[in-house]
A and B are shown apart, each in its own frame.
Chain A
Amino acid sequence: MSTVLQSLSAELADAVQSAGRAVVAIHARRRIPATGVHWRPGAVVATNHTISRDENITVTLSDGITVPASLAGRDPSTDLAVLKLAGQSLPTASLRADTPPRVGELVIALGRPGPSVTASWGVMSRVDGPWRTWQGAEIDSLLRLDLAIYDGFSGGPLIDGGGRVLGINTSALARGVPVTIPVATVERVVTELLERGTIRRAYLGIGTQPVRVPKSLARKLELTLDTALLIVSVEPGGPADRDGLLLGDVLLELDGAAVSDSADVLAKLGGDRVGRPLTARVIRGGQVKTLQVTPGERPQSQAA
C-alpha cells in the first residue's frame, strides 16, 4: 500500500529521472563543469557565464559518454549560449510552454556538475511580467525561486513535479539571486543563435540620465510629462552622433512614446529596429525639436 507521502516521493524521483536524461555536463571552464540542457535535437542550451572558452568544449551526456561540442553562439544579455552536438540520439527536454509556473508551485532545479545528476527543491517565490536584464535583453517573465543553489546550478533546468522544463536557471542575471529564464525566452534566443550565431540588437550610442523638466518650461512647451532623459554622452561616430543628436539634448519621446528612464529607450531598440529610422523629440535651446535617428547594430562588446 502506498501512501500520499510515498507517492509524492516517488513522483519527485521520477521527475528527476526523466528530466535528467536531457541534462548534460559541460566542460568549458576550469574546475567544476557546468550544466546544460539538450533543448532541441543536437542543440544544448547553457549559460553564457559558465562557458569561458569558445573551443575544446566537451559535453558529458546522461549515459556517461563524453562527446565534443561546438559553440553555435552566445548572448551575454540573456546569459544564454547554445552548443551543437553531432549525431546524438539523446532525448530532448520536455518543455512546459503552455502554462506558466505559479507562485507556491513545487519546483526542482537540476544540475549535472559531474557524471551524476543533482537536485534541489523548493517553490516558485515570484512570477511576474516581462523584465529587462542590465544588458537590455527582454526576458518574457520574472521567475524567482525559493530554493538552495549549489555549484553547477547555472545552465540547469527548472522542472515541475511532472518533469517538464519551466526554464533555464542562472545566478548571473540578478546579483547572484537565482532566476529562471522562461521557456519562451530560451526558445527565441535558441532560434536566433542557431540561425545567426548572435543576437541582433539595435543601438543609438547615447548615455542618458533622467531629469525633471522644470514646470515653467513644461508649461511653455505644452508638455504633459515631468521627467525626461538628459543625453550625457554621445558615442563619436555612433548612430545618434551621425543623425545630429547632441550632448545636452533632453530626450522627451522616441518613436512616439515618452521616455523617462533608459529602459524606455532599450524597449525601442529590438533587433528588428536596426536601420529603421525612429522619430526623436528633444528639448534643445529651450525649444522642442523633432529629429530622425536610425539605430545601428550594436557591436557585441557594447552593453547599451
Chain B
Amino acid sequence: MTTPVAGGLAQELAATVDELRRMTVQVRTGGAASGAGVLWSAGGSENGGLIITNAHVVRGNQATIELSDGTAVRARVVAHDRKRDLAALDFEPYRAMVAAVVRGSPRLRVGELVIAIGHPGGLVGAATLGIIHAVESEGEGRTPRWIRADMRLAPGFSGGPLADTTGRLVGVNTMMQGGLALAVPAAAVEAWVRRAHALAAP
C-alpha cells in the first residue's frame, strides 16, 4: 500500500504557482501584450524596481508593465542586450512587492521538476510543468549558456520565470528549440544585471 499523494501534490503545485504569479508581470510595448517579465528587484527608498525580460519582448525604450494585481505602471528600458536576449526595465514601485529569489545552490539536476509562468495567447498567469532535460557540463567558474527543459512553451512565456519546486528562480524563459524550452540561467542574468549596472553608473 502506498499513501495517496496526488491531492497534496496538486495543492502544493497550485500554491507554488500562486507565489510565482506574484513575481511575474506582463510587458506591453506599443499597446499590445508582447510577453512576460520577472520582478527582479522590488526597489527601495533610493532605487526603483527592476523587471527582467527578453530583449525580443521589448521594442523601443519604454514599456507598460502590468503587475500581477492588475496595476499598470510605466517602465523605462535601462539595459538591452540583443545577443543575450535580455532587457532590464526600471519603474517606480507604488507599494511593497516581493521580488524573485534566485536559486544559487544546489546545482540543477537532470529530471528535476521546473515550473514556467507566462501569458500565452493573452491568458494571464498560465503555468506549465516540466523537467530539466539537460545540464551543460560546467567549466571552471563558467555558468552554462542555456537551461534546457522538457516542456512546451508558447510565445507568451518569453521573458517569464522558470522556477524550481520551492519557487526559486532558475532561469528566464527565452525560446523553443528542437522541441525543448530554453531559458537563460538565473546566475547568468545576475551577472548580466551587475555588468549592466556597472556600465550605467556614472
Contact = CB atoms under 8 A, between A and B. Distances in A.
A17 B112 CA distance: 10
A108 interface: yes
Interface string B153-183: 0000000000011100000000000111000
B71 interface: no
B196 interface: no
Contact of A16 (B13, B109, B137): B109
A116 B112 contact: no
10 closest A-B pairs by beta carbon, nearest first, are A16-B111, A13-B109, A9-B113, A5-B12, A13-B111, A120-B150, A12-B111, A118-B134, A13-B112, A9-B165
B133 interface: yes
A117 B148 CA distance: 12
Contact of B131 (A20, A116, A120): A120
Q: Name which of B132, B134, B148 has the most chain A CB atoms within 10 A of its CB.
A: B134
A271 interface: no
Nearest to B136: A116
B5 interface: yes
A4 B131 CA distance: 16
A5 B9 contact: yes
A148 interface: yes
Contacts of A41: none
A99 B133 CA distance: 27
Interface string A91-115: 0000000000000000010000001
Contacts of B112: 9-10, 12-13
B165 A3 contact: yes
Interface in B1-57: 5, 8-9, 12-13, 16
Contacts of A117: 110, 134
Interface of B: 5, 8-9, 12-13, 16, 109-113, 130-137, 148, 150, 152, 164-166, 178-180
B185 to A, nearest CB: 15
A118 B113 CA distance: 14
Nearest to A108: B111
A116 B131 CA distance: 15
Given A12-B112, A16-B110, A119-B150, A4 B180 contact: no
Given A108-B131, A119-B133, 10 more contacts: A12-B111, A13-B109, A16-B109, A116-B110, A116-B134, A116-B135, A119-B111, A119-B132, A119-B134, A150-B179
A151 B133 contact: no
B201 to A, nearest CB: 38
A15 interface: yes
Contacts of B165: 3, 5-6, 8-9
Nearest to B111: A16
Given A148-B179, A150-B133, A151-B178, A8 B111 contact: no
Contacts of A9: 112-113, 164-165
